[in-house]
Chain A
Amino acid sequence: MNAPETVKTLRIALVGNPNCGKSALFNTLTGLRQKVANYPGATVERHSGRMTGAPYVELIDLPGTYSLTPKSPDEAVTCDALFGRSAFEARPDGIVCVLDATNLGQHLRFALELKATGLPMVVALNMTDLARREGIEIDVEGLSKRLGVPVIETVAVRKTGIAEIKAAIGVLGTVSEQAPTDLPPLRQLQRDARAMAREVTLAEGSGHKITRQLDALFLHPVAGPIILFSLLFVMFQAVFSWAETPMDMIDGGVASLQGWLADTLPDGWVLSLLNDGILAGVGSVVIFLPQILILFTFILALESSGYLVRAAYLMDRLMSSVGLNGRAFIPLLSSFACAIPGIMAARTIADPKDRLTTILIAPLMTCSARLPVYTLVIAAFIPNESVWGGMVGLQGLVMFGLYLSGIVFALLAAFVFKRVLSDGKRQPFLLELPKYQVPHLRYIFVGLLERAKVFLRRAGTIILTAMIILWVLGSYPLPPEGATEPDIAYSYVGIIGKGLATVFAPLGFNWEISVALVPGLAAREVAVAALGTVYALSGDEEVVADSLVGLLASGWTLPTALAFLAWYVFAPQCLSTIAVTKRETGGWKWPLVMIGYLFGLAYLAAFLTYRIALAFSA
């Protein structure tokens, strides 16, 4: 298997309990050059990266786990890798065991389990700054002696102890592997770990007071749910109002580029391809980058502050009323960013039925790719007014409503799926609530950068390709002599669109919308790009300069616009979601179920919305 290499790569796995600061340490050790193997293609979700200053060391960030007897699919990833059972991951050459210095008694048990694997190991005693602030004092040398491995004090977020841990990791390659040893029963192991922790703990510490105080507020029976709901509400308002300025700037930039091209290039197909095909299409998607980044900032901040798991606790009751448990809230919340990480995060759910249900409803959470669609239509049809005494923007309110309907239908769908799938066994809900932390700016920044790259790469590849194909199909064949309609009506796009329009006519969709839905399957935001291209091609020269918002406002009726929004609440998911669902569920059965039920719901919802809106406006 091993390809010949000049310098042998040393593969080191970072392992630890969840919430021990493992990922922060990983980020610090690899710098920004980490490679995040996300979706599709990578078979397990794993982050790996070369250690800065020592590129022959490959660090692998394995999912956090509480033990080496896995309880959920993500924990299994870690165990399989460590025991060399993984088909996709060779056994690492060594382990960095990350321990939380503020919770040594518990974390040491896992260190003992890891040591029994026989792999060369070094311990990173992390969060020592927090421990010191709490008054905890640990005899590091004594710990190292008792464990029989090097122990290095680190503060990953402040880059303390990083040089030392790097040196210790570098030496791991020279340590030979031991034969695995048998472990005593769990209860005995707990006792051993606590005894060892007692021996090396010089001062006990006072506990994390701030966490207790914040919990008194955030988990308060009345204030807690209100704060959670307000946070989500502010998040969606912010997505709208904060993004306005940068979006206008991008819009203006694209428009002036189009104007410059129109002045510089001769009239003809090249100009049309650049302006109507590429800039109108891709530009109308790139404009949503600010909104997506704002949404991700919120989600990443909530995640790294430790609030997200509290939200899961608050939501457990609601989730259990549809048969899920609070743990499902986290994958579902990350599905607001994108269903793909959400579906993969469902691996943290131990029960297969719960996990499947969560996967099936994840696409109903309004992902960020739907933002462009919603924003466009809302901007065109919902007046930019304030309601409730100027406190709340009407557009943001409609957006919130769309998110909310996604959630409500997701819960209803979960209820039905659980009824069909369940064997009636109640699944345990067990969740450690980590200490609150000020969100790491670096962590958020890395996350945002990753997201922006993915988004722009998509805009530059899938969307660009789709737009060029659409432009070709939309420009040829040329219209006959004496044509009365815009040229595009006679093109392939026109022909296809008019064919599809017979299916979608009951929903109030015109042929332009119908044709945009097709590339919208590749990725939802492509539908917006497609509308941009289709309308740019059908407009006469003066109208081209007008933005897509204006074109829609004059071209669609309100019932059509509302039906379009309703369609995208259920929006038959994008191809990547289907691909990841197939991978996670191991076959075509569940992705097909997913496509079927979402298509059905989308059609029904759009139909009802259109008919009801029509009845009201008549």
Chain B
Amino acid sequence: MNELVLTLGWLGIYAPMALGAAASAVGCSIAGQASIGAMTETEGGYGRFVGVSAFPSTMVIYGIVIMFTLNRDVTP
């Protein structure tokens, strides 16, 4: 039983970071593809696409922050 509780504790601490990273990867790929598609259609103003492509990385950054706030010794 103790092992299960410990595992759940570690999961809880690191899940925000892991899930955030997965979400950011999916989001960045979608946004990046959309930006490249839009870039072929427009002239100039590419700076905005850089911003849009980097938008979804916010999830993993908040994940890191949450992970650090929760970070502590896990005791059963």
- Do A and B interact with each other, yes or no? no
B residues sitting closer than 8 Å to A (CB atoms) are none
